[in-house]
Amino acid sequence: MVTPTRPTKPATDHQIQLLEGAREFFPALITEMDAALSDIQFETYIFDCTGTGADVAEALMRAAARGVRVHLVVDGVGTGRLPEPWRTRLRSAGVRIEVYSPLGPLGLLLPRRWRRLHRKLCVIDGCVLFCGGINVLDDFYDPNHGPLAAPRFDFAVRAVGSLVQHASDTMEQLWWRMRAVSDVRHRRLSLALADMRAASAARLAIKRAQSQRRGMRAALLLRDNVLHRTSIERAYLRAIAQARREVIIANAYFMPGGKLRRALILAARRGVRVQLLLQGRYEYFMQYHAARPVYGALLAAGVEIYEYESSFLHAKVAVVDAQGRRAWATVGSSNLDPLSLLLAREANVVVRDAAFAQQLHARLVRARDAGGRPLDPHEYAARPWRERVLDRVAFGLMRAALWVTGNRY
């Protein structure tokens, strides 16, 4: 591996740039990939080479062809096996690819297969981090719905600072653990031992990075199923509890558990303006119907709910008190639903910076005003009986699925 020579900022000096949609994210990502000197670490739930997604694939191949170490991890459900000819082209160029938790013959019938790699992270030369909710997927294309008339609404950030090393070490650890599992499966035991040593070294590096994160303006929050089960949810709960003026959340798949619901209701009751910008288009049965049974209590407490209808909303972002002294914002991959908060690997960047919070706030308000339809409490209460039945069925199925996994929410 070549030691990178690009300048880096001091450990306590984070610089965070907000990127809206693939139209801003992909050019920034590709620019950094084309400047990579030693390595690219990339994890994503969906890697789709349709449209502008092909530009990202081409950038990875250009980097690998000039000797950059390129590790690409995709999820076994979101992406599965990359289609030909892209899989062959990427491997021929030198891109090393691993699939996280391939489904196998029984697919999602096994509850342990519900634990997915949902985070979207890219670290380049250990200097620059990209994190957010944006997959490698064209803004104007949906794998299930085809071409879109308007771009998908989503965000990512470009970050420099000490959180980059934390992300890099975490990704390195996962990569070598996956390689070790693959080597054991193929009876390459000596390689498996070497891979586990590399994973252990990465784990020690993570601990060192975590010990250096005090006093930072920004932090990387990771959710896994071992040590960091509730880190992202606790950050939301703390920020909402400390809110004094306003909470605005944009979330694609919104099915909050009891703690989050209570936090939002209590904030609204103490005079905080709480606004939720949620998915207004029908995408999946569970996503659409299981969320609606929780709306009633929120609306009754004074929480404002807007359903985004301009296109598919895929954002997972929030801003608290953007105009206050303790402005708080987060951009990441975690939905506020059971899959993200109880089962998936997720990553969010949390930023305490007034200028950043105000920028994200302005974009959310613009989206709310341009594409959000306010949900009227009376309209919600009077929705047809058939819709209510479907809502309850979906909600019941979600609760039953959680019971199978042994989780309470």
CB 260 within 8 A of CB 336: yes
pLDDT of the residue at 10:
30
CA–CA distance, 25 with 32 (Å, rounded to integer): 11
pLDDT of the residue at 402:
85
CA–CA distance, 395 with 259 (Å, rounded to integer): 17
Tell me the domains of the chain and their CATH numbers: 15-162 (3.30.870.10), 221-405 (3.30.870.10)
pLDDT (tens place) for every residue of the chain, 409 residues total: 444 444 333 335 689 999 999 999 999 999 999 999 999 999 999 999 999 999 999 999 999 999 999 999 999 999 988 999 999 999 999 999 999 999 888 888 888 889 999 999 999 999 999 999 999 999 999 998 999 999 999 999 999 999 999 999 999 999 989 988 766 555 555 554 554 555 455 444 534 444 344 334 899 999 998 889 999 999 999 999 999 999 999 999 999 999 999 999 999 999 999 999 999 998 888 888 999 999 999 999 999 999 999 999 999 999 999 998 899 999 999 999 999 999 999 999 999 999 999 999 999 999 999 999 999 999 999 999 999 999 999 999 988 888 888 777 7
CB 290 within 8 A of CB 324: no
Strand 246-251 with 316-320, pairing = antiparallel
Cβ-based neighbours of 207, under 8 Å, separated by 6 or more? none
Q: Where are the beta strands (DSSP E) in 280-395?
A: 304-308, 316-320, 328-332, 346-351, 372-374
CA–CA distance, 258 with 251 (Å, rounded to integer): 17
Q: Where are the beta strands (DSSP E) in 216-300?
A: 218-223, 246-251, 273-279
- At residue 84, φ and ψ (nearest 5 deg) are -80, 150
pLDDT of the residue at 12:
52
**142-157 residues labelled b (16+ CB within 10 A) or e (exposed):** beeeeeeeebbbbbbb
pLDDT of the residue at 186:
52
Please give the positions annotated as active site.
118, 120, 125, 314, 316, 321
pLDDT of the residue at 406:
79
Helices (H) and strands (E) in the chain, counts: 13, 17
